[in-house]
Amino acid sequence: MAEITAQLVKELRERTGAGMMECKSALKEANGNLDEGEIVLRKRGIASAGKKSSRATKQGLIGSYIHHGGQLGVMLEVNCESDFVARTEDFQGLVHDLAMHIAAADPKFLRREDVTPTALARERDIQHARALAEGKPPNVAERIVEGRMAKFYEEVCLYDQPFVKESTVSVDQLIKTKIAKLGENISVSRFVRFKVGDAPGSDAV
C-alpha cells in the first residue's frame, strides 16, 4: 500500500476541487496513483463538484418533514443556482432526504466553522480530561483530542454527518454528488428542528 502523503492529497484536491477527506479516500482506493484517484472521484460524482462551490446560489426550495406521529418536524432551506434545477425531481428528492436526515440525526450546526467557540472549548476540555484520566501523557493527550474532535464534528455538524440512508457517505459527499449530476452549486443555508417539549429555538441554526 502506497503512503498517502499530504502533498498527494493536496495535488488531487487542486486537480478536482474535491474535499480533503474525499481525496484521501480516493487515493487509498487508487493505491496512491493521482490519475486513478481522479477517476475514482469522477465515478463518485465528486470531482467536478468542488469547482462549483464558489458560485452563487440564489434559488432553491424550503423543504419540510414531519415524522410519523407529529412529535418531530424539520424545515430547511436548500439553495441552487436556477429555478430550473430547483424544480427537478433530483433536487426535490435531495431536499426531502436532507430534511429526513436532520430529523433523525439531530445536527446542531451546518458546518465545522459554524460550531460556536463555547461548544468547541467545552468539547476539547471534556476530551482532554478524558484522555488524561485514561493515563495518557499531556503531549499524547493533545493528539488524542484532535482525533476525537473529528468524531465530535461528525456528531454535531450536518455536512460531516454520515447520511442516514447510506452511512458510508457523508451529507457533504451526498450534496457534492448532486452538484456533479445537476451541474449547479447546491448548499444548505439554514434549518430548524422542532421536537414537542423542547425549548423554543433550541435547535435553530
State residue 204's pLDDT score: 42
Question: By C-alpha distance, which of 44, 38, 40 is closest to 13?
Answer: 38
What's the pTM? Answer: 0.69
Question: By C-alpha distance, which of 112, 151, 156, 148 is closest to 130?
Answer: 148
Q: Into which CATH architecture does domain 56-107+162-195 fall?
A: 2-Layer Sandwich (3.30)
CATH 1.10.286: which residues of the chain? 116-155
CATH 3.30.479.20: which residues of the chain? 56-107+162-195
Q: Does domain 116-155 have CATH number 1.10.286?
A: yes
CB proximity list for 94: less than 8 A, separation 6 or greater: 78, 174, 175, 178, 186
CATH 1.10.8.10: which residues of the chain? 6-47
CATH number corresponding to 6-47: 1.10.8.10
Tell me how far apart the alpha carbons of residues 202 and 182 are, in angstroms, rounded to a whole number. Answer: 34
Q: What is the pLDDT along the chain (205 residues), one digit of tens a residue?
A: 568 888 888 888 777 767 778 888 888 888 888 888 888 887 776 655 555 655 667 899 999 999 888 899 999 999 999 999 999 999 999 999 999 999 999 999 999 999 999 999 999 999 989 888 888 887 888 888 888 888 899 999 999 999 999 888 899 989 988 888 888 889 999 999 999 988 654 444 4
Q: What is the pLDDT of residues 92-138, one digit of tens each?
A: 999 999 999 999 999 999 999 999 999 999 999 999 898 888 888 87
State residue 47's pLDDT score: 55
C-alpha cell of 202? 433550541
State residue 205's pLDDT score: 46
Cβ–Cβ < 8 Å for 8, 1: no
